[in-house]
Amino acid sequence: MDKKAGKKIFNGIAIGKIKFYSKKENQVSRVKVEDTDAEIARYEAAKDEAVKQLERLYEKALVEVGETNAEIFNVHIMMLDDDDFNESVLNIISVQKVNAEYALAATGDNFAEMFANMEDEYFKARSADIRDITERVLSILCGNSESTDIGEEPVIIAAEDLAPSETVQMDKNKLLAFVTRLGSSNSHTAILARTMGIPALAGVGIDPSWDGKIGIVDGYEGICIVEPTMPVLEEYFKKKAADDEQKKLLQTLKGKENITKSGQKIHLYANIGNPGDLMAVMENDAGGIGLFRSEFLYLESETYPTEEEQFQAYKKVVETMGGKKVIIRTLDIGADKQADYFGFEKEENPVLGYRAIRICLTRPEVFRTQLRALFRASAYGNLAIMYPMIISVDEVRRIKEISKEVRSELAAEGVQIGEVEEGIMIETPAAAVMSDELAKLVDFFSIGTNDLTQYTLAIDRQNAKLDEFYDAHHPAVLRLIETVIKNAHEAGIWAGICGELGADTTLTKTFLKMGIDELSVSPGCILPVRKVIRETE
């Protein structure tokens, strides 16, 4: 029996035969050519075919994993159209007089290495996307097919790494789980695994000799077991049966109230990052949306999104939710979320730098555009606005002045505006300590526990070396949360949690005891949290 640990990507238990998946290698040699125009034409034709393949993949992913997750294939199409990338390929062909395969492989290696060496985790992860599009075009140039057939029986896939395109092309009815040696919990493939509900691990020391052997993937414990002994196999058959039964029982909670046995009611909302996530919100029976991350509009655009573009996106969400509350967070970029057209300067410590509300207050034209779109959309449903990264009373007063001016402008134009609650995120120790004063100025608090923990403990949550020191249950963090809730209630406003701790069912009873009014979690966590609420005295 061989037991390997890995990074947990998605919970669940899978038992079955392991299939070791390896890509067909594209053998590339450096060949001198005389007709460089012909090589350039070959490259352009292969690139066009790659775009067609990606368009087909987008349509397939749209049906299977939703618009948000399918978007990666549109991103790959844009990458193939990147001027710098293409100029590099064409320049190598023309100057060195070499074949298209070599020029493409060299360019792909150079760009992938450049991204891999960046400090920002988001851009580091894009290195895999560069390699994916490079391999796709190379396969076409080399005459290799894009087959991802995994056979007739359901299997656990073991691979060095998986590109999003490979994951989407595999038959989901035959995919029990996957484990990879490379990859991270933030990769696109990991996100797809979570969306599809497939148990998955990354960072596992896989071995080609596993092929054809019986394996177990335990997404809860983060382990993969190869050739388990009979007692271990029997134990896991029981665990899987219990896990499957638990998932069925959770479905019976749909339509039920979020109420404790003693009668304490709580609002249970969903966090989303894109209108494409609305289906998951509906399927998991969320009572509303407690955090809609509006920055997707900025991160997926090549220039500042217009008022009309934003209005249409916000309007779609509030209309779809049919009167349920939708809390939209204003622009929260900076730190690990960058948009080139903002022209941000490099910062030594971006987590403590120019981000979120600090950008909005120093670039009021960007802020006003978003507020106009939000207030316009408020006429179509139950919309609330939430401002991130607050540290002072002065900031809130400045926000309220701008908000009042925008409302007046729209009223003068004859634009209808709904009743809009305006609240702030409590995600800095400064805001938590000053929450008694801040509560007098706003309609609600939403506690962002991810950043609140990071700043309270002085630990960069993106730094894997500090994982052993990072304690989201630290008494200081919990004490700040309790203080915020208490100060909110004394001022007559409600308080919720929209960070990861909201979905931590080991703390649900603690938060209920503190008097929390609302929890906003990822859609897939709604029913497990509801179960704990309803079982609490």
State the catalytic residue, choosing from 76, 188, 360, 525. 188
Question: What is the helix (H) or strand (E) element at residue 496, kind and residue range?
Answer: strand 494-497
CA Rg value for the chain = 25
Is position 525 annotated as part of the catalytic site? Answer: no
Is position 188 annotated as part of the catalytic site? Answer: yes
State the catalytic residue, choosing from 224, 360, 498, 525. 498
Rounded CA separation 47/32 (Å): 21
Task: Give the tokens for residue 179.
Answer: 């484990």
Residues 6 or more apart whose Cβ sits within 8 Å of residue 518: 266, 267, 268, 269, 290, 446, 494, 495, 496, 497
Task: Give the tokens for residue 506.
Answer: 């080991």
For 169-229, give the DSSP string.
Answer: HS-GGGEEEEEESS--TTSHHHHHHHHHT--EEES----GGGTTSEEEEETTTTEEEES--
Cα separation values, 7 from 451, 517, 525, Å: 22, 33, 20
Question: What is the helix (H) or strand (E) element at residue 478, kind and residue range?
Answer: helix 475-490
Q: Tokens 């040699």, residue?
A: 29
Contact 253, 534 (CB under 8 A): yes
Rounded CA separation 461/239 (Å): 32
Rounded CA separation 116/113 (Å): 5
Neighbouring C-beta atoms of residue 322, cutoff 10 Å? 9
Residues 6 or more apart whose Cβ sits within 8 Å of residue 535: 261
Distance separating the N- and C-terminal Cα atoms of the chain? 44
Question: What is the helix (H) or strand (E) element at residue 54, kind and residue range?
Answer: helix 36-80
Hey, what amino acid is at 13?
I
Q: Would you name the residues annotated as active-site residues?
A: 188, 498
